Structure 1
Amino acid sequence: SRAILSAKGLDEAIEILKRKDRASGYHHNLGEAKTGRLVSVEAPASGCVVREVASPRAHANHLLFGEFDGLEQTISVSSRNRQEAADRMIAEGALAEGAEAVLFDETTPIYANGSDQTLATSVFALFPDRVEWRVHAAPDERDTFSGTIRVV
């Protein structure tokens, strides 16, 4: 995961994630401000699937892509519930109010405060010349940190 931080662009980051020399895996949402490309990458230790993102999606802490259906995984109740809630809210149009409407929804806690504590929540907006970002410490502590990164 850290290796992609040195990538010079989205395609290079994807090539790094396709390598097989890793011990575990992650889901990555990657974007390239200059081109506006967004990709969703599931990269468990055994493989890598890259999907171009054309519409809003949510991704909790388990594999979702059908290419990995044969892999054994443990899906916690919390993860399953958060995935279902986010998918439902997106389908119902909650994102019209911004990503925070989904991230801080209280009907099915996506933001976890307690034993499954969320450390922070961030939202990134990509533009051809910049990336704007906001970090929320908690639902009542929004925009704890924010900034703009210029793209050259």
Structure 2
Amino acid sequence: MAEEQAQAPAGTGGAMPPVEQPKKKRFKLWHKVVGGLVAGFVALIVLLVVIASLATSGASSASDEFVDYLLEGDSAGAYSMFSTEAKAQVPEDRFAEVVTQMAAVLDESADQTGKSVETSTESGTTGEVTYEINGSDGTYILTVNLVKEGDDWKVLNFDSSLK
């Protein structure tokens, strides 16, 4: 088998000419700094959104469950979500009448439009979740106020009004 070898051009004394390496593109230092700052800012925003979502998820889930009970006309289920304070103020039979009236007017689905959670040394941890619900006579805004009792979110009160 014949092997072919690269030969140096004539007149170079047998030495191969240097091969030029392609130039590497280098980022300037300020590009790196700006890129790092932008990446850090984006990471901070993502972290804040995750923290806010986690902080309101418990109140939101409890409120969703309560609203589902209301819209299904399940007064016992909804009443079981009441806080100790709410149960002391509202007798279950009177609440059942309200749920029956609401279920007759409101559609069976609600759109959550807002949520917030606050912690205070005076009132403990409270939350507010708002909904839009279509009804037979218009669109209603339902606001559910919650309080944290131990590890559980409970309904303190709620309010509905036509939009």
TM-score by length of 2: 0.25
Does 1 or 2 have the higher relative contact order (CA < 8 Å, sep 6+)? 2
Larger Rg: 1 or 2? 2
